[in-house]
Amino acid sequence: MTTTTDRCRAKNPKTCWKHGTGLGFDAHREIREYVKYPLQHSNKAIFTTALKTYDSTQIASVVMAYANKTPSINAARVKKALLLAADLHKTDTRANRAYHERTPYIEHPLRNTLRIIRYGCDDEATLIGSLLHDTVEDHPFEIAREYAKEEPRDEEHAREISYRYIEKNFGKNAAKMVEGMSNPISEDRYMPAAQKNAVYRDHVIEAIKNPRVAVGKISDFTDNALSLHHTEAGMSAVSLYKKSTKYLGVIDELTHRVKQGYVNNDLPISEIGYKNILNQLTDGKAKLLDIQRRYSPEKAA
């Protein structure tokens, strides 16, 4: 029986972080509890444990351990960004490999951030931008209303408010990175696939001119596109062909940006990071080409 003392006082109990139910809410509560008493990790653990073996709290623990150890990073701001991302994604889940159970969505930005750390990044704005990279695209109205305390006119205005909020709390560079990581607002839901891919490609080419966005996009691309072979068993042939075609449309541009970054030394990563990224992209392209070939409509016909 619910008593007066334990009744939820939130306007919407279903989205209350204390009382909401689901994977995202569970992860958010666990992360909030964890950051009160952060664990320490060795450099070996930070840089070597397979990313897919971590759950959200474990990844958060490793990211915060790195932030606490790195002089160029304000760990308090990283923690604030991490908790903001966990709160905004608390209603979101993400498909896992093949037929495995869904996972809390927050694992995705956390995993991207740890991957960037493994690229040798010690730039605070890049790590914060990675943690928040999907928040504005997915939850602009929540940021505007619940955090910035403003009422947006529409999605475009909500995004503007959200970017201002991130800039105020985390700095201009982090806000610019999140803006660059956010896909444009689609005005045509029924746009043909080829046109959608062209819009996506144009967006990526423009966005990765910003060095921080380039690193964030590459990590995001690795988590999404270069993991496509892991989810192959749970996807239709049509979806696999469409996704592989979409991703192949930008992989050469990402590779070129990394090589350009190495020459100009403008990406916030280490020399080993450049090599690791190029190896990932080379291996990933081969896997995507194989998927595209095996599931092409021409072959099916």
Give residue-wise pLDDT tens across range 19-75.
Answer: 777 777 878 888 888 777 666 776 766 777 677 778 889 899 999 999 999 999 999
- In angstroms, rounded to a whole number, what is the distance separating the alpha carbons of residues 64 and 255? 29
Q: Are 268 and 212 in contact (CB under 8 A)?
A: yes
Beta bridge mates, 103: 94
- In angstroms, rounded to a whole number, what is the distance separating the alpha carbons of residues 178 and 88? 14
Inter-helix orientation angle 193-207/237-264, to 10°: 20
pLDDT reading at 96 higher than 80: no
Please give the pLDDT value at position 8. Answer: 67
Gyration radius (Cα) of the chain, Å: 20
Half-sphere exposure (Cβ direction) of 239: Cα atoms closer than 13 Å: 9
pLDDT reading at 105 higher than 90: yes
pTM as predicted: 0.89
Nearest C-alpha neighbor of 131 from the set 59, 49, 194: 59
Nearest C-alpha neighbor of 79 from the set 35, 133, 120: 35
Beta bridge mates, 93: 104
The amino acid at residue 187 is: E
Q: What is the DSSP string of 63-80?
A: HHHHHHH-TTS-HHHHHH
Per-domain boundaries in the chain: 184-301
State whether the Cα torsion 146-148-153-158 is positive or negative: negative
Cβ-based neighbours of 230, under 8 Å, separated by 6 or more: 97, 98
pLDDT reading at 2 higher than 50: no
Give residue-wise pLDDT tens across range 130-146.
Answer: 999 999 999 999 999 99
State whether the Cα torsion 190-195-197-203 is positive or negative: negative
pLDDT tier for residue 98 given thresholds of 50, 70 and 90: low
- In angstroms, rounded to a whole number, what is the distance separating the alpha carbons of residues 7 and 5? 6
Give residue-wise pLDDT tens across range 199-249.
Answer: 999 999 999 999 999 999 999 999 999 988 888 877 889 999 999 999 999
More confident residue, 294 or 46: 294
pLDDT reading at 190 higher than 90: no
Per-chain mean pLDDT for the chain = 89
